[in-house]
Amino acid sequence: MIQVFAFYLFACIMIGAAALTIFARNPVHSVLWLIVAFFNAGGLMILLGAEFIAMLLVIVYVGAVAVLFLFVVMMLNIDFAELRAGFVSYLPFGMLIAIVLAAEILLGLGIWSVGPIELAQRAAPVPADIHNIQAIGALLYTRYIFLFEMAGLVLLVAMIGAIVLTHRGRSGVRGQNIDRQNRRRPQDAIVNIAQPVGKGVEL
Partner 1 sequence: MTAFFQSLGLPFEGAWLLSTIIGILVIALPLMLAVAMIIYADRKIWAAMALRRGPNVVGPLGLLQSFADGLKVFLQETIVPSAANKGLFLIAPIITFTVALMAWAVIPFDTGVVLADINVGLLYILAISSLGVYGVVIAGWASNSKYPFFSAMRASAQMISYEVSIGFILICVVLWAGSFNLTTIVESQKGYYGLLNGNGFNPLLFPMAIMFLISALAETARAPFDLTEAESELVAGYQTEYSSMAFALYWLGEYANVLLMCTLNALLFWGGYLPPLDIPVLYCVPGIIWLFAKILFFFFVFSWVKATVPRYRYDQLMRLGWKIFLPTSLLFVFLVSGFLMLTRYGGAA
- Per CB under 8 A, does 135 bind partner 1? no
| CA nearest to 37, candidates 49, 56, 19, 24 | 19
* Least distance in angstroms from the C-beta of 31 to partner 1: 10
Residue of 133, 139, 154, 157 that binds partner 1 (CB under 8 A): 133
Q: Which is nearer to partner 1, 89 or 181 (CB)?
A: 181
Stretch that binds partner 1, among 28-36, 148-156, 162-170, 195-203 (CB under 8 A): 28-36
- Per CB under 8 A, does 71 bind partner 1? yes
Residue of 131, 144, 151, 159 that binds partner 1 (CB under 8 A): 131
Residue of 9, 12, 19, 64 that binds partner 1 (CB under 8 A): 64
* Least distance in angstroms from the C-beta of 134 to partner 1: 9
Rounded-to-5 percentages of helix, strand, coil across the chain: 70, 0, 30
Q: Which is nearer to partner 1, 177 or 195 (CB)?
A: 177
Burial of 32-41, coded b for 16+ CB within 10 Å and e otherwise, reads bbbbbbbbbb
* CB neighbours of residue 196 within 10 Å: 6
At residue 119, φ and ψ (nearest 5 deg) are -70, -45
Do the Cβ atoms of 49 and 126 come closer than 8 Å?
yes
Residue of 6, 11, 20, 28 that binds partner 1 (CB under 8 A): 28
DSSP-assigned states of every residue in 39-91: HHHHHHHHHTT-HHHHHHIIIIIIIIIHHHHHHHHHHS---HHHHHHTHHHHH
Residue of 12, 74, 153, 159 that binds partner 1 (CB under 8 A): 74
Give me the amino acid identity at 22. Answer: I
Size of the site for partner 1 (CB under 8 A): 25
Instruction: Give me the residues that bind partner 1 (CB under 8 A), please.
Output: 1-2, 26, 28-29, 32, 35, 42, 51-52, 55-56, 58-59, 62-64, 67, 70-71, 74, 131, 133, 176, 178
